[in-house]
Amino acid sequence: MEIVDGQAQLEEYITTAVQVSGESPVLIEKRLYAVAQILAQAVAP
């Protein structure tokens, strides 16, 4: 699993992931940064 920030990082990750995954699918999930920040703040002590 890897978190990418931007188009260039995504393209680099996909290129590598497709090469190493062989016949297995590559999962791409988009999350909103603001939501992640809120969740992080909610679980922080």
Residue 25 belongs to what domain range? Answer: 7-43
Q: How far apart are CA 28 and CA 26, in angstroms?
A: 7
34 domain-assigned: yes
Tokens of 19: 């090469």
1 domain-assigned: no
- The reported pTM is 0.53
pLDDT greater than 60 at residue 45? no
pLDDT tens-digit map of 18-41: 888 888 888 877 766 666 666 666
2 domain-assigned: no
Q: Which of 17, 36, 15, 12 is nearest to 27 (CA)?
A: 17
* Count of structural domains within the chain: 1
22 domain-assigned: yes
